[in-house]
Amino acid sequence: MTAQEYKEKIDRALTAFFAPCGEALPTDGLAEAMRYSLLAGGKRIRPMLVLEFCRISGGDIEAALPVACAIEMLHTYSLIHDDLPCMDNDDLRRGRPTNHVIYGECTATLAGDALQAEAFGTILRSTLSAERRAACAEDLANAVGLDGMCGGQYLDMTGEGKLLSETELDEINTRKTGALLIAACRMGVHAAGGTEIQLEAATRYGAAIGAAFQLRDDVLDVTSTEAELGKPIGSDAQEGKNTYVSLVGLEECENRISRLTETAKTALSEGFSDTAFLDALADSMAVRKN
């Protein structure tokens, strides 16, 4: 399956969630806010990773589709909350007004909260075996909680205006960005009932592309345009955030992205034979423009 075919499959599946049921419900306004951000586009990298790792681990991607949708719900929740006035206070996401701009801060907060809960519900209601559902849910919880994305967001927030070391910046970004990408890879293997060797290879691939992804984000915040990126640029510097560009410079960031991309592809070869899609995905992420 191509990346575009995967994206279309994921988008079709996502449109079925939180849709009006034909009769007016008192919570329709919240469901509308959830769908607004969930269906706002995006590359769908995380659900794509779930499906492809499931496939190359010998699993059924149709059975894994709810897991793929769940991680996109979780990712969407994080974007809604990142954009809130109390966090990054952004007015633009994926070229559209952010959720709180359209629906207000309270509804946007609840939309994110509900998407996080629904992500776990979607996994637990899937047709996968109980063991595979539990493994997927555990990986997602680990990626989001204290030692994952929320912990990383806290460290990012408390580090604003301070001069952080590279080690401290790594600690933030491994949690805030890397953890969810690692989880996507691992959840695909779990959905297929893959081996420990495959799980380890998927983990190392996810860690490498996660680190490269954050480096590219930092570069784009300096070199891109608002039209290309679909959100404000230069916000890191304005908010006093530490970035890899400010620490090591643009050239070294580019060098590291290249090295990490090769590390990711090498890791794959140690657990899988059919790696062409994920090799190409790592390459494309390394040079992405948004």
Q: How confident is the model at residue 223 (pLDDT cuts 50, 70, 90)?
A: confident
Percent of the chain past pLDDT 90, that is, above it, reads 84
DSSP-derived 3-state class of residue 24 = coil
Question: How far, in Å, are 2, 132, 137, 263, 281 from residue 119 at the CA level?
Answer: 25, 15, 9, 30, 24
DSSP label of 165:
-
Query: What's the number of domains the chain is made of?
Result: 1
- Give the domain range for residue 166: 3-286
Check residue 222 and give its pLDDT: 87
- Among residues 190, 156, 155, the alpha carbon closest in space to that of 70 is found at 190
pTM of the model: 0.94
CB 49 within 8 A of CB 188: yes
Instruction: Tell me the pLDDT tens digit for each residue of 71-84.
Output: 999 999 999 999 99
CA-derived radius of gyration, the chain: 18
Tell the residue number behind the tokens 């996994």, with chain if given.
123
What is the average pLDDT value for the chain, to the nearest integer? 93
- Tell me what percent of the residues of the chain surpass a pLDDT of 70: 94
Binning pLDDT at 50, 70 and 90, where does residue 227 land?
low
How much is the pLDDT for 54?
98
Instruction: Express the helix, strand and coil content of the chain in percent, nearest 5 each.
Output: 70, 0, 25
Q: How many residues does the chain have?
A: 290
What is the CATH classification number for the domain harbouring 244?
1.10.600.10
